[in-house]
Amino acid sequence: MNDPLISNKPPLISLFRILLVVLLFGWVILGQVLALVVAALYYDGNLMNAFADPINHPDLRDTILLSQGVAAFIGFIFVPWFYLKISEKRSLDIFFKGESQWPLLMLVLMVAIIGLALAISPLAEWNAGIQFPDWMSGFGRWVKETEAMAEAIVKSITSNMTSLTFIFTFLVVAVIPAFGEELVFRGLIQTELQRAVKNPHIAIWVTSILFSAFHLQFLGFVPRMMIGAFLGYLYFWSGNLWIQSLAISLTMGCN
């Protein structure tokens, strides 16, 4: 594929600006602050107690979905769009110019997703069963607590769904994050990293490591890294972010 020209600046400077403005400010600061504000305004109750025990607070589901939807849209879609428009004088169209044979590509994509799921399943079991040595016991406890909290939130979101809540949940959990994360990691970071190192394979694998680390879920780090590499090669091959956005949406929706 012909890589889109994101910036006329030196690639390392452009990459640093993307990490600083989009990831740090857009998602970590602005996105999360707005998510907390929305949650505090929307939820009628003790928000901290509800988040500590989401399964026993079914009324928290809409608050979680709404706040996370706001955070994902602002951090992963609005801020990257605004950054490109204001700082680089470019639009999101540069990530959707790849011309592919869509029917054949979609068939290959579906087969690849099924094959990837089968191949990663043993790897996921191995990653989840890692035992930490005594000197890492503190980190091990943090990992297990983080995973338990994430699992509890997922259960609270996906329990007793109606048709309407299923559509809303799929939009917030699968569609918005899929498009947004692919825009940031594959579209911005991978492209600029490839421009810096002049090697697509290094760019794809380093980006996939960053992608997995960003989710802060160690027990799924290796499978998520492999999925990130798969998505990176999809983008390198197709040149169109719609391809892997659809792939990750289907994968997340099925899970």
**176-216 pLDDT, tens per residue?**
888 899 999 999 999 999 999 999 999 999 999 999 988 87
What does pTM read for this prediction?
0.84
Residues with Cβ within 8 Å of 70's Cβ and at least 6 positions away in sequence, in order, are: 31, 34, 35, 38
Which of the pair, 169 or 159, is modelled with greater confidence? 169
Instruction: For residue 1, tell me if it sits in a domain.
Output: no
Instruction: For residue 145, tell me if it sits in a domain.
Output: yes
CA distances from 51 to 1, 103, 145, 216 (A): 45, 44, 13, 18
Instruction: For residue 236, tell me if it sits in a domain.
Output: yes
For residue 98, what pLDDT is reported?
Answer: 62
For residue 133, what pLDDT is reported?
Answer: 76
Instruction: For residue 3, tell me if it sits in a domain.
Output: no
Residue-range definition of the domain harbouring residue 50: 11-254
How many domains, the chain? Answer: 1
The overall average pLDDT reported for the chain is: 81
Q: For the chain, what percentages of helix, strand and coil (3-state, to nearest 5) are there?
A: 85, 0, 15
Instruction: For residue 56, tell me if it sits in a domain.
Output: yes
Instruction: For residue 232, tell me if it sits in a domain.
Output: yes
